[in-house]
Structure 1
Amino acid sequence: MPVQVGGSKVAEPRARVELSPTAVADKGRASSKKFRRRQKKATSSLSPMQRLFDTSKEVFAGSSPGFVPPPDAVARLSGLLNDLKPQDVGVDSNMTYFKHADSRGPPRVSYLHFYDCPKFSFGIFCLPKSAVIPLHNHPGMTVFSKILFGSMHLKSYDWAKSSPDSNDNALENSDGARLAKVNTDAVFDASAETVVLYPENGGNLHCFTALTPCAVLDVLGPPYDRDDGRDCSYYDESPFLSSCGGDEQYSWLKEVPTNFEMKGTQMPRKFSI
C-alpha cells in the first residue's frame, strides 16, 4: 500500500526476503537446467551440416601437428557422426560419383570437399564398387571416419615400436621398409560406429576397398599441408615372417610413388562459418 509523505504518494518499501542457502542452490540449479534446455533447443534447430561444422570447430580449436582432442570431445564428435544420414549431407547411391563409368580402368574415387582451414577439414569420399584408396598415412593428424552407406574392407596399421621377434629387434629392413603392426583388418558398413585414428595409434595408416558403392565422411585435423611437412605418403605391404608366432600381425611397409588420383569437387556451403 502506498503511503503519503509531504503531499506525495510513495511506494511502501517491500520487506526483504532472505533465501536460505538451500533455496539459493535450488534456484541456481533451476536456472542452469533452464539454460541447458534453451541451449539444447537452439542446437537441435540447427541443420546437420551446421552442427557438424560447429562441433568440428570446437573439437579442433587447439589443432596442430600431433594434436589429440580430449576424450569428451572425441565422444561428442563421434556421436554426432554416428547419427548422420546420407540425406543430411546431400549424398545418395544414385549419384554419378558412385558409378563405374569407364570399364577400361579401375573405378575412380571422388572427393566432395565441404570445408577446410588450418585447423581442420571435412569432406566425403565416394567409392564405386571395387574402388580402392591405397594404403596411406595421416602425419600428425586425428581423423574421424564414418561410413554413410555401403560396405567396405578396412585395413589399417600403426608403426611398430618394437619387433615381435626376439631374435631381431630391427624396425627397418635393408630395403628401407618399416615394420608396422596391423590395427584393423575387417569389413565395415553404415551400421558401424565412427572410426577414430590418432597421430601415433588407432590405425594411422589405412586403405579402403569398396565391396559395394559407399560413401565415407572424414573430419581431420590438422589437414594435409605439403609446405608444413604433412604430405600424404603411400605404401606397399610385404609379409613379416616371425619365428615367435603369436596372434598379432605385422607387415613391412615401404613408401612408394603412386599414380592414384581422386576427382575433387568443391561443394556448395550449406552452413555458416
Structure 2
Amino acid sequence: MPRDNMATLIQRIARQARLTFRRGSGGSGGAPEAGFPDNLQQLQQLLSQLRAEDLNISPRRCATLPAPSPPPPPSHLPPVTYMHICETAEFSLGVFLLKSGTSIPLHDHPGMYGVLKVLYGTLRISCLDPLPAPPPTAAPPPRFDPPLRAGQRAVVRRALLRSRAEYTEASAPCLLSPQRDNLHQIDAVDGPAAFLDILAPPYDPDDGRDCHYYRLLEPARGAPAAAAAGPAPGPAAPPPLPREVWLLETPQAADFCGTTMMASLLILHSIE
C-alpha cells in the first residue's frame, strides 16, 4: 500500500520542480537565479524520499511454482514504458519502466537538466560529455569494428566517457546538466527497473530541444585508440575512465518506448 502522504510527496516534488526550473532559472536556457542551487538541492532531497509504493508501482513478480517452459513476452510490447505524470512549460515529470536486460540507448538532453531517481531495481548509468571537433590538421578518426559505411566517418564525433555507475532505490538522485553528463545511456541490471524522471525544460524540437541518439563506436583491434587502451579487456577489466570515445548519431529504434498515463490532473491542479 502507498504511504498516506503519497499525493503530498509527489505534489511537493512537482511544486519544487516548477520553482527550481521556472523561467529565467538555470533550467530554461538563461543565467541561473541566485537561488537555483538551493532549490535544486531541495528538489533532490524530496526525490530521495520517494519510493515505488508512493506511486503504486512495483516490478512484476514471477510465479513461485516452477514452469517447464514459460512463453516469451509478446513481441509487440516495447522494452521500455513511459508513464506520463505531468508537463508544464518548465519541466516534465514521468516514470520509465525498463524490462530486465533492456536499455534506454545513448542519447542527449540539449540545453536541459535531467534528474533521475530509481524506484526499484538497479540501473547502470553511463555518462558522457561532448568534446570539441578536432582541428582540420588533427589525425583522422581510427578504424572501427564493424567498419563504417561510406560517408559516416565524416560525421562521427568525439566524446569523453566520464563515468559508469550503478544506482538503486537507496541511491541519491542522479543529476544530468546541460554542461555535464548530458549524453547518457541507462541499462537495467539483473532484473526490471523503474525510475522517476524530471526533464527541465521539456523536449521541444521547435525550440532546439530534440533528442538525438548515438552509437558508441569500438576501434578495430590494432587501431591507435585500441592500442592506447592496452590489451583487449575482459568483463572484469574494462578500460579505465574517463576516456575519449567516438560516437555516431543513429535514428531512434522503432517501437522502442510505449507511453501510458498516470493521475496527471491531480498533480497539475496542485501546482497551479
Asked if TM exceeds 0.5, the reply is yes
1:210 matched to 2:204? The reply is no
SS of 1:48's equivalent?
A: helix
Distance 1:53 1:126 in 2: 20
Residue 257 of structure 1, aligned match among 244, 251, 258: 251
How many residues align structurally? 223
1:116 matched to 2:87? The reply is yes
> 1:213-238: CA deviations, max 9, x gaps?
11111111110011112111100111
Does the Cα contact within 8 Å between 1:151 and 1:188 map onto a contact in 2?
Answer: yes
- Could you list the runs of 5+ residues in structure 2 that have no partner in the other structure? 63-70, 143-151, 220-224, 230-239
1:189 matched to 2:153? The reply is no
Residue 219 of structure 1, aligned match among 193, 198, 205: 198
Distance 1:138 1:227 in 2: 14
Give 4+ residue runs of structure 1 displaced > 6 Å after superposition: 169-173, 242-246
1:134 matched to 2:105? The reply is yes
Shift of 1:102: 2.4
Does the Cα contact within 8 Å between 1:66 and 1:141 map onto a contact in 2?
Answer: no
Does the Cα contact within 8 Å between 1:67 and 1:141 map onto a contact in 2?
Answer: no
Does the Cα contact within 8 Å between 1:141 and 1:223 map onto a contact in 2?
Answer: yes
1:178 matched to 2:142? The reply is no
Shift of 1:94: 3.0
Q: Which has the higher contact order (CA 8 A, sep 6+)?
A: 2
SS of 1:224's equivalent?
A: coil
- Higher-Rg structure is 1
SS of 1:231's equivalent?
A: coil
Shift of 1:61: 1.1
Distance 1:106 1:238 in 2: 28
Residue 147 of structure 1, aligned match among 118, 124, 142: 118
SS of 2:46's equivalent?
A: helix
Shift of 1:258: 2.5
Does the Cα contact within 8 Å between 2:101 and 2:187 map onto a contact in 1?
Answer: yes
Between 80-89 and 102-111, the greater mean CA deviation after superposition: 102-111
- Could you list the runs of 5+ residues in structure 1 that have no partner in the other structure? 1-43
State how 1:1-273 maps to structure 2 within 5 Å: 47-62=8-23, 63-65=27-29, 70-94=36-60, 102=73, 104=75, 108-161=79-132, 168=138, 174-201=153-180, 203-211=181-189, 212-239=191-218, 241=225, 248-260=242-254, 261-269=256-264, 270-271=266-267, 272-273=270-271
Distance 1:81 1:182 in 2: 26
SS of 2:129's equivalent?
A: strand
Residue 88 of structure 1 aligns with an amino acid whose one-letter code is D
> 1:239-273: CA deviations, max 9, x gaps?
46177768531211111112243111121133313
Q: Identity over aligned residues, as a percent?
A: 30
Does the Cα contact within 8 Å between 1:147 and 1:215 map onto a contact in 2?
Answer: yes
SS of 2:19's equivalent?
A: helix
